[in-house]
Amino acid sequence: MTDQENSRVEEAPNDVSRRNFIKGEIAAGAAVSSAAYVFRGSPLLGQQTSAPGAVERLITLNVNGQERRVDVMKQETLAMTLRYKLGLTGTKLGCDRAECGACTVLIDDIPRYSCSTLTHSVRGKRVVSIEGLAAADGTLHPVQQGVVAEQGFQCAFCMPGFVMATVGFLKVNPNPTRPQLAHGISGNLCRCQDYDKILTAMMHGAELMRRA
Ligand code: FES
Ligand code: FES
């Protein structure tokens, strides 16, 4: 046998083997993808299409009177959904751990820290953020008018939270004394520490609300 023939014999099994291997890989890949396609389209009897405990991510939320479809992760907070999924950046994130109240929104008329509320837990409830307070014609809510009239804030980062907390408190006590309102919104902090002027603005808002 010549050297050339020898080398052909030695290469032949490897060559065939490599070709068969590649063919096998392609066939396996096609089988896997077609199996995935079949499973996605029609689950087998008794077989779950998602892991146990998984939650549906595409949900409908009632925000500021509108039904909003939104893709929400299982561990996502309402503040994140409002700000980064729905573009409602009036809700502020200060501490992000239930200490400052900057993220306060109304859930079924009750003030809540949205940084510490899972979005999935508000399905079927009414969420109102600062953007939802004004009337359809743009007329500001009386509490917002009180803020404008009294100029009660310095940087105003905390302002949406204070307004939402006050609106919620006035729903259960529309005619509070100054100490009562101060206690009612004491879950909100102001880094500029302008509390006296803030309270004056909120009391003015309460008065405007009673007149409305
Ligand atoms: S950001 Fe929610 S309480 Fe501070
Ligand atoms: S006015 Fe600046 S944080 Fe309250």
Nearest ligand 2 atom to the CA of 193 is 4
Query: Is residue 148 a contact partner of residue 140, using CB atoms and an 8 Å limit?
Result: yes
Query: Is residue 166 a contact partner of residue 181, using CB atoms and an 8 Å limit?
Result: yes
How does residue 40 score in pLDDT terms, banded at 50, 70 and 90? very low
Q: What is the pTM of this model?
A: 0.76
What local confidence, expressed as pLDDT, does residue 212 receive? Answer: 86
Of 103, 159, 164, the residue with max ligand 1 atoms within 8 A of its CB, to mutate for a pocket test, comes to 103
pLDDT above 90 (res 52):
no
The amino acid at residue 65 is G
Of residues 17 and 188, more confidence is placed in 188
Ligand 2 atom 4, closest CA: 190
What local confidence, expressed as pLDDT, does residue 8 receive? Answer: 46
Asked whether 105 lines ligand 1 (CB < 6 A), one says no
The pair of structure tokens assigned to 11 is 């290469």
pLDDT above 90 (res 120):
yes
Distance of alpha carbon 188 from alpha carbon 75, whole angstroms: 24
For 132-182, write each residue's pLDDT tens digit. Answer: 999 999 999 999 999 999 998 999 999 999 999 999 999 999 999 999 999
Give 182's contacts (C-beta < 8 A, 6+ positions apart): 195, 199
Query: Is residue 90 a contact partner of residue 161, using CB atoms and an 8 Å limit?
Result: no
The pair of structure tokens assigned to 72 is 């929400």
What local confidence, expressed as pLDDT, does residue 9 receive? Answer: 41
pLDDT, mean of residues 37-53? 45
pLDDT above 90 (res 115):
yes
Q: How many Å separate Cα 198 from the centre of its chain?
A: 28
Phi, psi (5° rounding) for residue 66?
A: -120, 145
Instruction: Please name the helix (run of DSSP H) or strand (run of DSSP E) that holds residue 148, with its range, or none.
Output: helix 142-150
Of 190, 195, 202, the residue with max ligand 2 atoms within 8 A of its CB, to mutate for a pocket test, comes to 190
Asked whether 98 lines ligand 1 (CB < 6 A), one says yes
Asked whether 156 lines ligand 2 (CB < 6 A), one says yes
pLDDT above 80 (res 6):
no
Beta-bridged to residue 113, according to DSSP, are 104
pLDDT above 90 (res 25):
no
How does residue 50 score in pLDDT terms, banded at 50, 70 and 90? low
Residue with tokens 């729903």: 171
Residue 189: Cβ within 10 Å count: 16
What local confidence, expressed as pLDDT, does residue 152 receive? Answer: 85
Residue-averaged pLDDT of the chain: 83
Asked whether 192 lines ligand 2 (CB < 6 A), one says yes
For 125-141, write each residue's pLDDT tens digit. Answer: 999 999 999 999 999 99
